[in-house]
Amino acid sequence: MNNLIDLARHIPTPDAALTVAYTPVTLPMEGRQPLELRITAPAESMDIPIVLFSHGGGPSNYIPSKDGYAHLAQFWAERGLAVIQPTHATSRVGGLPPDAQGAPFFWRERVAEMKAILDRLNEIEHQVPAIVGRLDHTRIAAAGHSFGGYTTGLLLGSRVQGEDFRDPRISAGLMLTAPGRGGSDLTPENAGRFPFFDVDFSGLTTRTLVVVGDEDNPHFTPRGPDWFADAFHDSPGAEALLTLRGVGHGLGGIAGLDAKETETEAPDALEATKRLTLAWLRSTLGLDADAWKTAAGALDGPASALAQVTPKTRPKGK
């Protein structure tokens, strides 16, 4: 029951089930402090698909960590997914020191952290008695918001200066307001500050949903909100673009309810974001083949005021 939700109720979603959450789960890392994780998963069922979630940055001190995005992870876990959230090297509260190699953006380290989780899933599971033996290591998605969307894109096949970071263990992707093209698409100052944003999306071949807000203001580029859709237009793996209406970079509150990152509190748009991204994940990870089609189809009704889905148009015969 949520009195703040109206139109999003027309987008179908499974009923919530009991979950368990463990934090901090620690993963030793060579040459640095351990990586801290939060794991949220269904309390029952077996063969649970896994979502690795990469947090963004933002003005808050604690949101960019394993403790941010808790309501989103909870929503997904209540409906059949195990969500693993690392506290990345960029985190203010638990990241690497500002004088460490790769500071302050640690973009390579963020990718390495996600791959370390995949390398050591068994070790992680055995720290969490309630889920040991219950996760399906063959059904894994990567998801991320903002700078976390950038990290996710690299794992899905985006390349930086020809370097490939793709992890074949990941079979589905979700990029939430991820940065678009770098280089000449950025202001000169930001092109110098963020050379690693000069990404080639043509290698992103993993099945991916790109999510944007139609009022997002990209401070890095003179372009408008369409900048955040570049991964959809440029990559062969992006199958659809989900555009949320009337919200910006926070998608109505994705990082945290009532947080600084939530420039526009929009409970209905936020609920639509949750329901539609869940449907995408449930379909691409094999929990419900029709979930995405059904949820997206609901946007032809009253929920059309909240969002629009643009499918990728493929040439005939492909």
pLDDT digits (tens, 9 = 90+) for 206-219: 999 999 999 999 99
Q: What percent of the chain has pLDDT over 90?
A: 95
Answer left, alpha or beta for residue 280, where phi above 0 means left and psi between -120 and 50 means alpha.
Answer: alpha
Q: How many CB atoms lie within 10 A of CB 236?
A: 16
CA distance 273 to 238: 17
Looking at the predicted structure, is the pLDDT value of residue 220 above 70?
A: yes
- Give the per-residue pLDDT at 314: 66
- Give the per-residue pLDDT at 277: 98
Looking at the predicted structure, is the pLDDT value of residue 290 above 60?
A: yes
Nearest to 82 by CA among 110, 47, 108, 113: 47
Q: What is the mean pLDDT of residues 312-316?
A: 70
As a whole number of Å, the CA-based R_g of the chain is 18
Domains located in the chain, CATH noted: 7-311 (3.40.50.1820)
Strand order in the sheet with 159-160: 163-164, 159-160, 199-200
Q: What is the mean pLDDT of residues 82-94?
A: 97
Looking at the predicted structure, is the pLDDT value of residue 259 above 90?
A: no
- Give the per-residue pLDDT at 258: 81
- Give the per-residue pLDDT at 235: 98
126, 157 in Cβ contact below 8 A? no
Q: What is the mean pLDDT of residues 55-69?
A: 95
**Model confidence at 313, in pLDDT bands (50, 70, 90)?**
confident
